[in-house]
Structure 1
Amino acid sequence: MENKNNQSKKKFAFPHIYVILLIFVAVMSIASYFIPAGEYERVEGPMGRMMINPDVFTFIESTPIGIMEFLTAIPQGMVSASSVVFFTFMIGGAFMVLKDTGIIHFGVDRLTRTFISRKVLIIPVLLITFSIITAFIGTPELALVYVPILIPLMIKLGYDKMMAAGVALISTTGGFLAALTNPGTVGLSHQIAELPIYSGAGYRFLLLLAIIASGVVFLIRYAKKLEKNPHLVKQSLKETASQHIYEEKRYEITTRQKVAGLVVIFMFVGMIYGVLTHQWDFIKLAGYFLAMGVIVGIVAGMSGNQISESFNKGFRDVLLGAMIIGVARGVAVVMEESQIIDTIIYGLSHVVSSLPSSITVLGMLATQGLFNFFVPSGSGQALITMPIMIPLADIVGTTRQTAILAFQVGDGLSNIIFPTSGYFMATIAAAGISYGKWAKFIFPLLIVWFLIGCAFLLVAHAITWGPF
């Protein structure tokens, strides 16, 4: 009987994420033989970026994906996503330096002692802090930054790695979904729609409150479940024991380490300033984290060889996450090579335009969420879909501000579940969580967020929510 049960479990084992992504690449390659190729005219948009002209779409000669194009899709995806891949490597390297200096252990120890008697309070504190940062600067990729710190913290508080990943991803995704001043989505969309930049922040702030409040309730319920069932945490302790992150001792640091800790805080604030005011891209952020690791290591008293070895260890730790980002980009490469990506958005826009005006905003939400599977980039999606959705909003009688909110909600919701979302997959990989377990864990919250988003969109449509 036991052997049969084991065979049954193996039979229904969730496939590796590489297998899932390779299937998606193969499916899109086959689809290129059935979906006609087409293209929109490209014109210069805000800040010199190319965007589509929604009035000029033409079908062109099909260029279906052949065997060689299929085989090279993933390597090309790695090249295309190289900036994000190297950003991931630099985060891993920099945080291994921080770990080896003892700063992370000290910080985790202090947070643990602060919250040990009321540990559930750590959840709203972290969710609110991280979500506000993302709501302003629009970098959900910071989840990759938070996870290396959160895993030891959550385990020492008696929780597990799923809680760590949940805090990192729910906070950053929630802040991105209801962003207040995200330059890459809100700011760019407002420029395309010719609305005052970052207008309507008050209504989006109410959405942010609802999203984060639901996330806090969701994680507190999970925390209570872990507290009632301590055996659920044992597997996380077993899996992470080799990393020496669960140690019952008091950490003290030297004066040099304290100064290095202050440097970390100062440089983190500097990163937020750079993203918010200078729109730093992933290459600049990668260089910044490289500098952070080197500077903090030197200040803390590490030698050049020690810093180099710490970076090497960090690179190894995030290798799977970095590879996933490149493999996931292979799906977009196939669509671009076969020139079916414009055809898909052309078809989706016609479906949305055929809906009754009262629920068009919900069609926009669904369209943006679906399209994010193919183009998991907020700014890239804005340049492709907003030129279509803005005039569509004018035709059906909803406001441009509401159309932009539909884009935000659809994009944000799918970022935390679609395997083609590179930073999300890299984050759960860094936490050592399989995609199947994560999907099962987060799905109830996604339903709640979807309903909240629909409610806010319907109200926005009903009140003809305008620029301010």
Structure 2
Amino acid sequence: MSINVSIGKASKRQTKKFTFPHIYVILFAFVTMMAIASLFVPAGEYERVEGPMGRMMINPEVFSFIEGEQIGIMGFLTAIPNGMVGAAPVVFFTFMIGGTFMVLNRTGIIAYGVDRLTRTFMKQKVMVIPVLVVTFSMITAFIGTPELSLVYVPILIPLMIKLGYNRMLATGVALTSTTGGFLAALTNPGTVGLSQQIAELPIYSGVGFRLMVLATIVLSSVLFLMFYAKKLENHPEQMEYKELVSDEKEKTYEIGSRGKVAGFIVILMFIGMIYGVLNFQWDFIGLAGYFLAMGIIVGLVAGLSGNEISEAFNQGFQHVLMGAMIIGIARGVSIIMEQTQMIDTIIYGLSHAISSLPSSITVLGMLVTQGLFNFFVPSGSGQALITMPIMIPLADLVGTTRQTAILAFQIGDGLSNIIFPTSGYFVATLAAAKVSYGKWVKFIFPLLIAWFTIGCFYLVIAHAINWGPF
């Protein structure tokens, strides 16, 4: 009898379902691993010189190993708080987005817009996917702000639910469109523009070839998401988050004249944001202030009182709190690396690994290297300032073009943005959408393989045709 009982208990333990760790646990584990790695990876340093727009970049010809700083107990314990401080611009940008969209929600503008879109696409509801993905991808391809996925998710979730889908599809539309547009950006100032300045190429040259890459990436995203949507339609029993499906699909939403004027102002201010990013290179602090102004102006025009606007902002802050925290915690990984001066050593080792590859596949090695390095430095412009001064002369050495090296950087950086938990805006978007990291990885992995294959295909072509500045 006792033997049977023990076997039964063992069987129960063996069949216990695996639970994916909380994103806080995953990020803390990465911070811990970086702290341990700092004990074995020697500190190194490239000489810094002034680059485009006065920003410091590395001199690839001068590298030396140095006496590094040990992280210590207090350094480890303060890595996450220091990460919060270092990521403050993005954190406050996230808070302002949450607050502004809660104001818009209280005015009824979002419900009205979602209702209109639902009625427009109800007969061919799957067609909303290409419309949204193409639109969002083009916006990001020009201004280079994949963080706009945080803006889109609060609108897409109620829209997709009213159409009979779920929040995973809404999250997929927001993230694949912004990441795809960033991956194959046409005029992104922080990646394409900065890299071409470092490479001494005409700014935004090569746009025709990148447009082909963008079109293929967007097409693959649309097909992937439409296939998933059709799967949900044909097998509704497989749909997750069923508790969110609305029972009020026939309810109509109307807003008064003040609400319609406020909605028009939202559209104008969104266009103004794109103009500001392109022409004035607004950073996250500037964008945070802009969204704050949007929330206040739209709220007042729509007829909300000062107290109502303030309470709406408070609710919005609470809604995105976890996402904002994730951004700061993820920054803790970089803090460890900066304090122990590991970053230059890592890029030094990766560049030597690439240079040992046959010239015909060096460009593919660049893609993989940029993707891996993005784990440590998830900032596109920051990565450009660190890696491009090395990758450009390496491209000259192995006989590929500088334009091709920049494309490898774009693709590698963009691909990993949608999967690495150290990419703050990405995991913040998941948190805002209440989609677990584990389920997201399972969902998006097939598309990542497709994107990687597309990237390799175009890089091989670019190398074969000796793709030049134009």
Query: Normalising to structure 2: TM-score of the pair?
Result: 0.97
Q: 1:384 and 1:59, CA in 2 relative to 1: closer, same or farther beyond 3 A?
A: same
- Which residue of 1 is the match for residue 352 of structure 2? 350
Quick one: distance in 1 between partners of 2:35 and 2:61? Answer: 28
* In structure 2, C-alpha distance between the alignment counterparts of 1:73 and 1:220, rounded to whole Å: 42
The alignment status of 1:412 with 2:417, answered yes or no, reads: no
Q: Is the 8 A contact 1:30 1:65 kept in 2?
A: no
Gaps of 5+ in 1: none
- Aligned counterparts of 1:298 and 1:334: Cα–Cα separation in 2: 44
Whole-Å Cα distance in 1 between the matches of residues 402 and 171 of structure 2?
34
User: 1:438-465: CA deviations, max 9, x gaps?
Assistant: 0000000000000000000000000000
What is the CA–CA distance in structure 1 between the aligned matches of 2:160 and 2:13, rounded to whole Å? Answer: 34
TM superposition shift of 1:370: 0.3
Tell me by how many angstroms 1:107 deviates: 0.3
**AA matched with 2:175:** L
Which residue is 1:12 aligned to?
A: 18
SS of the residue 1:289 aligns to:
helix
Counterpart for residue 176 of structure 1: 182
AA aligned to 2:463 is H
Code of the residue aligned with 2:376 in structure 1: it is F
**Rounded Cα–Cα distance in structure 2 between residues aligned with 1:76 and 1:425:** 19
Aligned 1:34-433 pairs, distance under 5 A: 34-233=40-239, 235-238=240-243, 240=244, 248-433=250-435
Measured in 2, the distance between the counterparts of 1:245 and 1:265 equals 29
1: distance between equivalents of 2:469 and 2:434? 43
In 2, the alpha carbon distance for the partners of 1:186 and 1:415 equals 16
Give the AA of the match of 1:366. Answer: V
The alpha carbon displacement at 1:231 in A equals 2.4
User: CA offsets, 1:194-242, max 9 Å, x none?
Assistant: 0000000000000001000000000011001100121233x4241x47x
The Cα of 1:67 is off from its aligned counterpart by 1.1
Query: 1:162 is matched by which residue type in structure 2?
Result: M
1:467 corresponding residue in structure 2: 469
Rounded to whole Å, the distance in 1 between the matches of 2:449 and 2:173 is: 18
Q: Deviations over 1:362-405 (max 9, x none)?
A: 00000000000000000000000000000000000000000000
Per-residue deviation, 1:5: 8.6
Amino acid at match of 1:187: G
- C-alpha deviation, 1:269, in angstroms: 0.3
Q: Any gaps of 5 or more consecutive residues in structure 2?
A: 1-6
State the secondary structure of the residue aligned to 2:58.
strand
- Percent identical residues: 74
Verify the 8 A CA contact 1:32 1:63 in the aligned structure 2: no
Distance 1:9 1:174, change over 3 A: farther
Deviation of the 1:62 alpha carbon = 2.4
User: Aligned partner of 1:250: which letter?
Assistant: T
Q: Secondary structure at the match of 1:39?
A: strand
- Does the 8 Å contact 1:119/1:157 carry over to 2? yes
Aligned residue identity for 2:50? E
Give the SS at the match of 1:79. helix
- The CA deviation at 1:63 is 1.8
Counterpart residue number, 2:454: 452
Question: Does the C-alpha gap of structure 1 residues 309 and 451 become closer, same or farther in structure 2, counting only changes over 3 Å?
Answer: same
Paired position in structure 2 for 1:31: 37
Q: Secondary structure at the match of 1:43?
A: strand
- Deviation readout 1:92-141 (Å, 9 max, x if unpaired): 00000000100000000000000000001000000000000000000000
SS at match of 1:117: coil
Q: Is the 8 A contact 1:70 1:334 kept in 2?
A: yes
**What TM-score comes out, normalization by structure 1 length?**
0.97
Structure 2 distance, partners of 1:392, 1:360, is 9
Deviations for 1:29-76, whole angstroms, at most 9, x for unmatched residues?
000010000000000000000000000001001223211111000000
Deviation at residue 248 of structure 1 after TM alignment: 4.0
Rounded to whole Å, the distance in 2 between the matches of 1:245 and 1:191 is 54
Distance 1:110 1:63, change over 3 A: same
Relative distance call for 1:107 and 1:352 in structure 2 (3 A) is: same
- For residues 438 and 8 of structure 1, what CA distance do their matches in structure 2 show? 25
Q: 1:16 to 1:383 in 2, by over 3 A?
A: same
SS at match of 1:374: coil
Shift of 1:10: 5.0
What one-letter code is carried by the residue in structure 2 that aligns with 1:52? Answer: I
Output the CA distance in 2 between the equivalents of 1:121 and 1:306. 37
1:152–1:246 Cα contact (<8 Å) kept: no
Cα offset, 1:7, TM superposition: 5.4
Q: 1:345 to 1:251 in 2, by over 3 A?
A: same
User: Matched residues in 1 for 2:204 and 2:308: separation?
Assistant: 45
Counterpart residue number, 2:3: none
Cα gap change, 1:270 to 1:387, in 2 (>3 Å): same
In angstroms, what is the RMSD of aligned CA positions?
1.6
Shift of 1:9: 6.6
Q: Could you say what secondary structure the match of 1:373 adopts?
A: coil
Deviation of 1:4 (Å): 8.3
Tell me the distance in 1 between the aligned counterparts of 2:468 and 2:192.
Answer: 14
